Amino acid sequence: MEKIIIVAHGSPRKDANNLESFARAIAITLKKQSEDIKYAYLQFENPSVEQAIQDCINEKAKTIVIHPLFLSSGAHVGSDIPMIIENFRKKYPDLQILYTKPLGLHEKLIDIVKERIDELKPLKAEEIEEKSMEIIDNELNLKNIPPSLKHIIKRVIHATADFEFKESMRFHPEAVPTAIKALKAGKDILVDVEMVRAGISKKYIGKSKIVCYLDRINEYETTKTEKAIQMALNQEKNIGIVAIGNSPTALIKAIEIFNEKKIKDKLLIGMPVGFVKALEAKMLLSIQDFPYITNLSRKGGSAATVAVVNSLLKIKKEV
């Protein structure tokens, strides 16, 4: 069993001793259990290096990797920590203790310094978005995904900072063509809640309107959003896209109406979030033969749904 110990100097200021969150991030990056990544301080704070090594030994570690989180090989890196390691090696001759180099003049540190300097410069909204998309491209492989679907997935990830959507999103083959045709024809967008309405970009909406019936509902048997979607789909004649980001029951009702009316010329976006019926509703949507966009996960919500709609609006503008 291998354990890793990250060692920092430590500070009299308690808020400066934040290795715990750093160690947790290292564990995620290395795909290790959190208990396999330890942290320690040379001064002012616990656990000490000796305590951290002893904890690893008590947990039956066979190998301990110690990394000094220092820029250079000063007295602490070159003498103090090695002395502690040597004492443990003598006491536990069967234990393998490996000691890495400090951070040193690594090229990636230069990139970090540049990034910190760049952070001081005010960025325009377009520059922030461009930088975000660049980060997503660098961290995500979308090579085999059609451009329009890639555009939507990236927008959802950008809105949620959640890369899981790359694997969980599902698209009917006619989803994007149906949406673009509807938007170019000035068809309206029906939403389940005001939060979705508020998030949809007015910049690219064109002649389309955003419709929400939620404030018209006073009496309802199940949920208010379900009743609102039902009423709107029965009364509105110019709906081209239905976007549901909050209510699983509203999504289930929309699926029923699409099937009852044999609707094929509208897109149903269903990405509600939650633990009750959300995943079930989206799984039901994913097997329909009318145009849909959804994600097979408990995750979702208004921000993800808005990202899909805004992406479609931008695609419409570009084609």
Residue 158 catalytic?
Answer: yes
Instruction: Write out the residue limits of the CATH 3.40.50.10230 domain(s) in the chain.
Output: 166-318
Cβ atoms of 168 and 282 closer than 8 Å:
no
Burial of 64 (C-beta count, 10 Å sphere; 0-12/13-18/19+): buried
Q: pLDDT digit string (tens) for 165-217?
A: 999 999 999 999 999 999 999 999 999 999 999 999 998 898 999 999 999 98
**Alpha-carbon distances of 10 from 45, 90, 100, 105, rounded to whole Å:** 6, 26, 19, 22
**pLDDT tens by residue, 14-28:** 888 888 888 988 888
Contacts of 269 (CB under 8 A, 6+ apart): 241, 242, 243, 244, 245, 292, 293, 294, 305, 308, 309
Classified by CATH at the fold level, domain 2-99 comes out as Rossmann fold (3.40.50)
Does domain 166-318 fall under CATH 3.40.50.10230? My reply is yes
Q: Catalytic pick from 76, 151, 158, 172?
A: 158
Q: Model confidence over 230-281: pLDDT tens digits?
A: 999 999 999 999 999 999 999 999 999 999 999 999 999 999 999 999 999 9
How long, in residues, is the chain? 319
- Beta-bridge partners for 96: 63
pTM of the model: 0.66
Residue ranges of the chain that CATH labels 3.40.50.1400: 2-99
Q: How far apart, in whole angstroms, are the C-alpha atoms of residue 185 and residue 206?
A: 10
Q: How far apart are CA 162 and CA 185, in angstroms?
A: 33
- pLDDT for res 18: 85
Q: What is the pLDDT of residues 98-139, one digit of tens each?
A: 999 998 878 888 888 888 887 777 766 666 677 777 777 777
